[in-house]
Amino acid sequence: MKIKVYLTCSQCLLLMFAKYMIWFATPDLYVGAGRCRLSKVGAGRRPPPARVRVAVRLRPFVDGTAAAGEPPCVRGLDSCSLEIANWRNHQETLKYQFDAFYGERSSQQDIYAGSVQPILRHLLEGQNASVLAYGPTGAGKTHTMLGSPEQPGVIPRALMDLLQLTREEGGEGRPWALSVTMSYLEIYQEKVLDLLDPASGDLVIREDCRGNILIPGLTQKPITSFADFERHFLPASRNRTVGATRLNQRSSRSHAVLLVKVDQRERLAPFRQREGKLYLIDLAGSEDNRRTGNKGLRLKESGAINSSLFVLGKVVDALNQGLPRVPYRDSKLTRLLQDSLGGSAHSILIANIAPERRFYLDTVSALNFAARSKEVINRPFTNESLQLRVLAPIKLSQKELVGPSEAKRARGPEEEEIGSPEPTAAPASASQKLSPLQKLSSMDPAVLERLLSLDRLLGSQGSQGTHGLNTPRRERMVLMKTMEEKDLEIERLKMKQKELEAKVLAQEAVDPKDKENSSPAVLRPLARRTVTVAKPLKKAVVMPLQLIQEQAASPNAEIHILKKKGRKRKLESLDASEPEEKAEDCWELQISPELLAHGRQKILDLLNEGSARDLRSLQRIGQKKAQLIVGWRELHGPFSQVEDLERVEGISGKQMESFLKANILGLAACHRCDTS
């Protein structure tokens, strides 16, 4: 079972950094890990550039047009260049030069051997390659890519050679074991459809942290022979959407993409793994709706085809101009081709053109697109990493770190099928069969420590851990650990409850009278309590502590609390036994006039006789206001009443009021304290 992990960019960076650190510490063990990109970072090198190669193929006249005496509008000059009439000036021709030009007499073998076969070897180096057939409808794209049983095209020839190559390179006694898989999809009206599983619906295109384009859920069929390939490919090709247009009776209405993956696993240490991808793409043609006679669905299809090819043109232009944003994401086609155009693949574009004059404008536009494409630079790199099975002993060691009992519990009968990402991953029972490197890696504490700390780090970032250590086996271990912790917590709570119950019982035994009061207080569940939520007071009045104590001591207190209900006021005595709910209304203090007069007098005395320091002992009077008061007094003589404070410059009427409120009550209370 293959395990796929999608990491965020920051996690990928972390992973790459950690891989680099491991490689740096143990280069012998980690040869090639992190692919060329990683070694590129380490050595400060970029992969060498590989320009997109462009070949043009001119098909012969079809349907007897040559017999009608129509001259071709385009002709080849040599093996790399051609010329086409200039529609602006009939005396002139437009000349184009490409990597290769194949004339109307060229065979399928010429195209294949001249332009496609040379790039296949890169697949065995773990690099990507792609072949795209471009051109107007009816110009020969499908003929070039697929051909016919009599004249097989690029696809069958490439598959035959590739399978032959992998058999030779991956045979017994060779350092690498090779396997080939195929997937086949079409992009139809901006939907990615799996031609090997037509029921699967629209698939999503993703990009991994190394910039590889992936299609999760896409069927991959292993193929070992050409017969295998045909068995899957021929029925799938019939699923491809085709329709009749005026230009082509079986016009391809979609972009067809055959993806062939070559997977290599090193048989000896350091057990590297390489993956090379080959895209073989038969693009749908760019169509002029006036000529194809498209209506309804055909017109809609045509719009989708044209727009994706239009985006393809924009992508090529952006790459050529070195723009910071390349609009790969603007269409499914360009998103899929992201690693073929300006990416990591060795790419070849075969522009198919037709000689008939009715194709003239489409031919010129195809040639212009081809000319722009040959400026695009790719940077192919080797997709190489360590095989997951090398990490298998480390997983076991991690289990050992958790504890032998847990490791034992975590190991189940079905474990190997669920937990092993590779069929060859070393289970505990097969530990004797470990390769020398596997044994070494299981014993190397430095590597083990680094991998585990990386795993912890990624775990703390919310990831499921490193690729190598992320298995259902580990997840089960984590789950069991969590369950054990929960069990302990439950035990602890049970003990606590027992303790509390024992305490209550002991209390009851000491004072049985208190039973009714105390035990419900302890044991009554919270939910049964009626909770009264008091509304916030509209007006808060600060009551000095002494005053409250005094009130409680004397029932005939001179201070009362006024309860405000709306506009009406009701006088009530302060009573501690007053129900709590009553607190929801406003309360104000009413002070006896005598007490109030004492308070006022005390303030007046202070205002007239107190120093600036004394004045600062009053509420709401700071250094500045105290000095203002003293200054006013020196100028105007003593205050006749506390309200004169308003006359002091810098003290407003409002401030004076709040000063009185804040001070009178306290000073009155002090007066009572003094006199009692």
Whether 573 and 556 have beta carbons less than 8 Å apart is answered as: no
Binding flag, residue 248, ligand ADP (CB under 6 A): yes
Residue 62 binding partner per list Mg ion, ligand ADP, none, with a CB distance cut-off of 5 to 8 Å that depends on partner kind = ligand ADP
Identify which of residues 133 and 426 has a Cβ nearer to Mg ion in the complex.
Answer: 133
Tell me which residues in 581-610 interact with ligand ADP (CB under 6 A): none
487 vs 621: CA distance, rounded Å? 62
C-alpha dihedral sign at 239, 240, 241, 247? negative
The answer on whether 141 is annotated among ligand-binding residues is yes
Contacts (CB under 5 A) with Mg ion, residues 245-284: 252
Q: Does 302 bind ligand ADP (CB under 6 A)?
A: no
Q: Is 140 annotated as a binding residue?
A: yes
What is each CA distance from 372 to 111, 250, 377, in whole angstroms? Answer: 21, 29, 11
Give residue 326's identity as a one-letter amino acid code: V
Q: Is 139 annotated as a binding residue?
A: yes
Q: Write down how long the chain is.
A: 676
DSSP 216-282: TT---EEESSHHHHHHHHHHHHHTS-EE--SS-TTEE-SEEEEEEEEEEEESSTT-EEEEEEEEEEE
Kindly list the distances between the CA atom of residue 211 and the CA atoms of 191, 214, 592, 604, in Å, as whole numbers in the listed order.
22, 9, 85, 84
Contact letters (x/-) for ligand ADP, 276-295, by CB under 6 A? ---------x----------
H or E, element range at 89: none
Interaction of residue 135 with ligand ADP, rule CB under 6 A? yes
Residues in the interface with ligand ADP (CB under 6 A) total 16
Tell me which stretch binds ligand ADP (CB under 6 A): 131-139, 289-297, 434-442, 579-587.
Answer: 131-139
Tell me which H or E stretch contains 313. helix 296-321
554, containing H or E segment: none
Pick what 419 binds: Mg ion, ligand ADP, none; C-beta below 5 to 8 Å, kind-dependent: none
160 in Cβ contact with 170 (< 8 Å):
no
Binding mask 167-196 for Mg ion (x = CB under 5 A): ------------------------------
Binding part of the chain for ligand ADP, among 91-99, 139-147, 169-177, 417-425 by CB under 6 A, reads 139-147
- 251 forms part of the interface with ligand ADP (CB under 6 A): yes
CB 366 within 8 A of CB 403: no
Nearer to Mg ion, 142 or 166 (CB): 142
Residue 66 CB, shortest distance to ligand ADP, in Å, is: 12
Which residue in the block uniquely carries the two structure tokens 């003239």?
360
Nearest residue to ligand ADP, using CB?
140
| 314, two tokens | 């924009």
- Residues 285, 135: Cα–Cα separation, whole Å: 6
Q: Six-digit token pair at 631?
A: 């200054």
How far is the C-alpha of 520 from the C-alpha of 524, rounded, in Å?
Answer: 5
Contact flag: residue 137 with ligand ADP (CB under 6 A): yes
What is the spatial distance between Cα 255 and Cα 138, in angstroms, rounded to a whole number? 14
Does 352 interact with ligand ADP (rule: CB under 6 A)?
A: yes
CB–CB of 477/470 below 8 Å?
no
Tokens at residue 148, please? 């016919």
**Separation of alpha carbons 180 and 224, rounded Å:** 7
Question: Closest distance between Mg ion and the C-beta of residue 142, in Å?
Answer: 3
Q: SS3 of 383, please?
A: coil
Site for ligand ADP in 359-418 (CB under 6 A): none
142 binds ligand ADP (CB under 6 A): yes
Q: Which stretch binds ligand ADP (CB under 6 A): 42-50, 59-67, 184-192, 363-371?
A: 59-67
Comparison of 309 and 665: residue with beta carbon closer to ligand ADP: 309
Taking the complex as a whole, the smallest distance from the CB of residue 314 to ligand ADP amounts, in Å, to: 22
> Taking the complex as a whole, how short is the minimal distance between the CB of residue 75 and ligand ADP, in angstroms?
15
Q: How many helices (H) and strands (E) does the chain have?
A: 23, 22
We find the least distance from the C-beta atom of residue 237 to ligand ADP, in angstroms, to be 13
**SS3 at position 112:** helix
Applying CB under 6 A, among 115, 128, 252, 470 the residue interacting with ligand ADP is 252
139 binds ligand ADP (CB under 6 A): yes
138 binds ligand ADP (CB under 6 A): yes
Which tokens sit at 228? 């295998």
What does 153 bind: ligand ADP, Mg ion, none (CB cut-off 5 to 8 Å by kind)?
Answer: none
Of 109 and 611, which has the nearer Cβ to ligand ADP?
109
The rounded distance, in Å, linking the Cα atoms of 276 and 129 is 8
Amino acid at 211: G
Stretch that binds ligand ADP, among 80-88, 233-241, 244-252, 487-495 (CB under 6 A): 244-252
Q: Which of residues 127-146 bind Mg ion (CB under 5 A)?
A: 141-142
Summarize as ranges the residues that interact with Mg ion (CB under 5 A): 141-142, 252
Summarize as ranges the residues that interact with ligand ADP (CB under 6 A): 59-60, 62, 135, 137-143, 248, 251-252, 285, 352
Q: Which residues are annotated as a binding site?
A: 135-142
Q: Which residues are annotated as a binding site for ATP?
A: 135-142
